[in-house]
Structure 1
């Protein structure tokens, strides 16, 4: 009976493989929804997606080909994700719970397939075999990724970066902290103004080069901010870092120019100036919000994005879905993601920014006044808004700013012509 049960288990694995992409997409969504500590920024979500994908593929292969437990190895993407979570101080229990959720959903779906295919007298033995083999596989994988996580956690915490991260996390948690000890450990004073930033390397940069790249960018930004002392840099993981400079003001244009001059392949989200421990925390929260805007807008938003420039959008971008709905409701047909709509949006935004002056807009955009008049009329017609309604115009300006910074993520996708 065991041999026949294995045949049914292999058949169920083949059926799971046929619907693999749909299953993986659903599992990613459920995992992010049920385990909020795993619902990180886009890079971590990409790592989660890769880990789930490789794990599902490996599990299907194990069940289909009758592999033995001793030969089970955790997929590379799963180990990379475990290390990244350890570096970000996400609890191992969250990762293990994600595996249990995936295991449960996989077994439920595979057993439903068996029940529909196998005769009743054979379905139960086959289901037992499936449950046993799936449990063996998931236990082994959890052991492997757990060991990897703990090893990386020990390495990370024992390093100076790990100790700094510990004290920074204590400060950011809002709980009572011994400020003197924190300042000694961080070698950074807290009783002054701070400018926080999040810095991450572009995908084209090799991980081994990230450290030197960050050091160069940190130096350039310190000069541009006229920092009064050394910065504090704490890696979030191997490709991202949080930074604070003792600085009293931000010249966003100067910061952008400093990075452009050095041509460093990093992107930076910058918070506003904040004083003391509260300012230390608030400036980083602002940088985190700016990062959401920068990631949504992609490379078009530039290497450096500052809170002072995108503050209204950064506050709204905490829920991109709601912001997208606001933009599309406000702009109507003008919210289409195509070249013509983009041209009309740019013209209307420039026109409103110049107090409705056709001449000033034409001069700024190097276009004829009649062209500006035509485009503005077309844009307003697409929006269905009147200049006589100041509240509606204010909403249009906000929506246009969201489009400027967040691009396709808030626009209505158009179907390409076949």
Structure 2
């Protein structure tokens, strides 16, 4: 009986031909509307591509989510490896997401394992790095390493990954066999504290690349590309549906959000036994798709930052203003801390938490004339609090 249920489902018509190309981890062979940015990476890493071994370049990519940071680095890594292979040079590209790595020791293990396959469990991070480099040297290989979502790692562990790895890199003798791309989810470098900003400029110089949000026209192209790859070519996703989804996503320029709506709209069509996606399926998909409240992102925030975010959301839910000021946020934060019976951070820390939340896209900040105000533009407050409130309450009860 159970087998029959599964077989019946699989025998039903579906609008899809390959759902895997709608997965968040999928990188298309042809990357749309990022040619200029790929060109910038080529300029940044020209020494690696033309004279490998003479320099060890590093670069920083930053932007909000859904702008193609991961796709562009993976695409560039593949191109770089192929270019050097044609010259008889062995370049390995390694891409690691740091978001859920717990400490520097675990991260270095993952880097070494992905690069050489060696087991270096008993070594310190410094010795792991040196052993990896020794093996690269012994085998005459080069490494282009991308470390994605570095900001989450630094926030969670307190370890300055960028500083440590650039120091390791600088200590190495020639030939230089390592180049690194650091990726952070930060919408605006200019909102960073002066010390952090100057440190980034010292480390990366001109090798900092910001990816702008996609426009509606660009989203139409990206969605259209995925439709051709993922759906049956029988008009299952008409042009007006592609335009409708792009219109929904263009306010935040988030391609990931648009692709999630597309996939869920296709699922709605399948669930209703229809052979094409209609506007109502898109509306249903949008109601199930939250562009900014991903529980794993909220979980990664330090506990006090979650409470500060809740304070902002509570104020915005009560107030008619679009922005709320620092004084009111701090007061509401203290009230929440009393409710949770936790010790509040000082006022300066609250300000820093707000700037951190802005950098990773949870808040929009105005900081004119030394007066800081915060707002939430990209998600309904009710949806955010529905996820955030029970999460914060649970953390304080554990």
Structure with greater proportional helix content? 1
Give TM class, smaller chain. under 0.3
Between structure 1 and structure 2, the one with the greater Rg is 1
TM-score with structure 2 length normalisation? 0.27
**Structure with more relative contact order (C-alpha pairs < 8 Å, separation 6 or more):** 2
TM-score with structure 1 length normalisation? 0.26
